[in-house]
């Protein structure tokens, strides 16, 4: 999804945007009773969706808008 997008140059001087990306991953990630992730790839995809949208101004093809709970900072 992020191939060809230089997201590091967009985020390296913007720690609050990096915080948002990390928050999306953690908010979406689900753990089993042993603390093992059960949907890591989905959480990665949602964080990548945000990065793509942040860098290009559009959603990646086939991806749904981010929900408010996904981007919530605690």
pTM of structure: 0.86
The single-letter DSSP state of residue 37 is: B
Compute φ and ψ for 64, nearest 5 degrees. -80, 155
Q: Give the model confidence (pLDDT) of 22-74 as tens digits.
A: 999 999 999 999 999 999 999 999 999 999 999 889 999 999 999 999 999 98
Give the span between the Cα atoms of 37 and 31, in whole angstroms: 4
Instruction: Find out whether 31 and 49 touch, Cβ atoms under 8 Å.
Output: no
What residues contact residue 34 under an 8 Å CB cut-off, 6+ apart? none
């Amino acid at each position: 999804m992020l191939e060809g997008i230089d997201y590091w140059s967009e985020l390296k001087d913007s720690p609050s945007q990096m915080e948002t990306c990390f928050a999306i991953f953690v908010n979406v990630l689900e753990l089993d009773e042993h603390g093992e992730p059960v949907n890591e790839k989905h959480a990665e995809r949602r964080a990548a969706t945000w990065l793509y949208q942040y860098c290009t101004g559009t959603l990646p093809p086939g991806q749904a808008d981010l929900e408010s709970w996904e981007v919530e900072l605690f």
